[in-house]
Every structure is written in structure tokens, then in C-alpha cells.
Amino acid sequence: MSERAKLRWRCRRGMKELDVVLLAYLERRYDQAPADEQQCFAALLDRQDPQLLSYLLGREAPTDATTAHVVDYLRNILNA
């Protein structure tokens, strides 16, 4: 299985809204993103759904600048 296929599988979540946002990032941004951003996205996929949702809704803010950048991009997808 390719790395991209593994990421696609990991984007499947318990919440359909997260599926849509994460898959949109994978399709629209991931390939053009710098390596550190790609690694950050993969690390975000290790987080639990409630924390990801909290990031997207602005209830929590990531402390790492790269993670914050990825979360901002995901928020823009959510709000589009």
C-alpha cells in the first residue's frame, strides 16, 4: 500500500465531518506541502477525534506553529 493510500485510510474517522475536511486537505494541499507540513498532517491523524474537532472549532489551539498552520488550513476548508 502506498504512503498516500495509508494516509487516505487514516483520514477515515468516526465523524463524517472530519473525514470530509481531512480528505480535502489530502487532495488539495498535501502533495504541494513542505515535508514538515506533511509530517505534521500525518501526526494530526494520530490524534483522537474530539481533539481534532476541538482544534477545528477553535476551542483549543495547537502550540506548534506548523500544526497551527495545518489546522488553519483545515478550518478554511471547513468554513468554505
pLDDT tens digits along 15-67: 999 999 999 999 999 999 999 999 999 999 999 999 999 999 999 999 999 99
3-state secondary structure of 3: helix
- Kindly report the pTM of this predicted structure: 0.92
Asked if 55 and 71 count as a contact pair (C-beta separation under 8 A), the reply is yes
Residue appearing with cell numbers 483549543? 60
- Averaged pLDDT, 3-15: 95
**CATH number of the domain bearing residue 39:** 1.10.150.250
- Please give the tally of structural domains in the chain: 1
Is pLDDT above 90 for 78?
A: no
